[in-house]
Amino acid sequence: METLIIQPKDKAELNFFLELAKRLGAKAATFESDADERLLQSMEKNKKTHKVSRQEVFDTIHEIIKE
């Protein structure tokens, strides 16, 4: 499936597009919430390892921010 990115001009327009997507039954997420979700998934995966280096944590965060 393809992704559509819309950059609203203000908070009201953002809310309009989010509500529209909801009413149409489409999945919608803000960039910030998507990045938070990916960070949480990475943290959950790394939580199960014995030891995670500080550099690996920073590398993972940096990768998420770049996307």
pLDDT in tens, 26-50: 988 877 766 777 788 888 887 777 7
**DSSP state for residue 36 in the 8-state scheme:** H
Residue 64 lies in a domain: yes
> What pLDDT is attached to residue 15?
93
Residue 40 lies in a domain: yes
Residue 41 lies in a domain: yes
- Cβ burial 35-48 (10 Å sphere, 16+ → b, else e): eeeeeeebeeeeee
Residue 51 lies in a domain: yes
pTM > 0.75: yes or no: no
Residue 62 lies in a domain: yes
For the chain, where are the alpha helices, taking DSSP H only? 11-24, 31-47, 54-66
Residue 45 lies in a domain: yes
3-state SS assignment for residue 4: coil
Residue 5 lies in a domain: no
**Total domains in the fold of the chain:** 1
| Domain ranges, residue 42 | 30-67
Residue 10 lies in a domain: no
